[in-house]
Amino acid sequence: MSTTAHRPTIISQSPQQPGDVIGTWADVGPDGLDEALRTARKAWHDWRSASAHERSRALVGAAARVDAAANELTSLVVREVGKPIVEATGEVARIADTLRYYAQVALDVDGDMYPASDPASWVFTRRRPRGVAAVITPWNFPLALPMWKIAPALAFGNAVVFKPSRNGLASAMRLVEVLDLGDILQVVCLGSEAEQLLPARDDVDIVSFTGSTEVGRAVVTAAATAGSVFQVEMGGHNAALVLVDADIDQAASSVARAAMAFAGQKCTATKRVIVVGDPSRFEDALVEHVRALALGDPSDTATVIGPVIDERAQRAVLDAAQQGVAEGGRLLTGGRKTEGDGWFAEPAVLAGLPAGATLLRRETFGPICAVVSARDDAEAVEIANETAYGMVAAIYSRDIGRVMSVAPQLDVGILRVNGPTTGIDFNVPFVGHKASGQGLGEQARAARDLFTTSVTYNISPSPVPEAQS
């Protein structure tokens, strides 16, 4: 007998109005997960046999349905995770574009021809879908992050069991309804044990996870033990290097948004700014640009910084600012709770922190960053690499020769020059280094390696029968 009725209830609330309950769902638990996996596996047997053109048309149709529901999806994202409406609008447009992109990727070359030792034979490879993919995503991009996993998985002929974050559950559930792709895409409402349940299953062939480093490491262990192929993208403690020849105002403006937009709740947000030489001019410019960013109601088109996701996140930002001061840093702006309801925190900038300070070592997922100084480019690189993470870095400079010297020394998976650490196109690989990522990468050609396996064919002509005497 199913125990679903007795499972805990998952509740999603609006961070700008915590009394606004967006929805409640029963945690389906292991029984519900069993059913979802069985359904996905059964559907996969037909989906993997569908032609590439059929899969492509299915994704094109899903993109059209997203377009038709764009306003509804945008409003839901704003309400559920507090994402400013301009960013939320862009996120919805991005998922439609992602679906169309992978609809074309489904029609791409799916193998290679090799010279055979026997001239009469053919040797070639074909890509084959792996099976059922477990997709586990966080709340901060409740539509885009699932889509850059789900779209390629389906395009290459796999089925998907999708476990969204409880804080973005309403958005994810509505997305699956809008996509209307049938049994090849299953969504499950699971509580905190999901990260242990899903990757450990031996009926899961691929695990694609984005989330915290602590949980990600547990996912790696479970997936490796179960024999699944895995891709894990975790946290980032990203640095922006402002070299001596940089345009200070342009760099400060870029860093302000990269650190604080959407309340700094991105794995690619700038958390450390390393200024070569005297940092005072940059500090003044950064504070000016941060204070100019509108903080408030995410449904207002002028808003750049909305709430953090919940009370615990708000407390983490405030505590990090206070701890930075206690450790010898200077609070240049922000670091306070705003008046009224909602989990708002004024964006904080600290400077003068000593080496080894907590804020320089540990990621705080919110609107806070630290400015440190370096004597020269070499020390800036050393400071940037003094972290367990290796997600993304930015370099601000007008000297291309200096950039080309510094860039190869930074131990990150993504490097931006004169642009923010945040943001990446959906048609390029996304791979974190060090503690920011393990296993295979995702997006573009990296997604093909994750969601397919290669089979080598060696075809020889049938022997010619001997002539009958």
Q: Is 292 exposed, middle or buried (0-12, 13-18, 19+ CB in 10 A)?
A: exposed
The residues, any chain, with a CB within 8 Å of residue 313's CB and separated by 6 or more, are 265, 343, 365, 366
Strands (E), 115-205: 122-129, 132-136, 159-163, 185-187
- The SS3 of residue 14 is coil
The catalytic position among 80, 189, 267, 346 is: 267
Amino acid at 255: V
* 233 assigned to active site: yes
Structure token pair of residue 391: 């997600």
Q: How far apart are alpha carbons 80 and 102 in whole angstroms? A: 27
Q: Which residue has the tokens 């009394």?
A: 19
Which H or E run includes 275? strand 270-276
Q: Give the strand order in the sheet containing 452-459.
A: 113-114, 122-129, 452-459
Given a contact cutoff of 8 angstroms between Cβ atoms, the answer to whether 162 and 184 are in contact is no
Q: How far apart are alpha carbons 395 and 185 in whole angstroms? A: 40
The catalytic position among 80, 87, 91, 233 is: 233
* 369 assigned to active site: no
- The residues carrying an active-site annotation are 233, 267
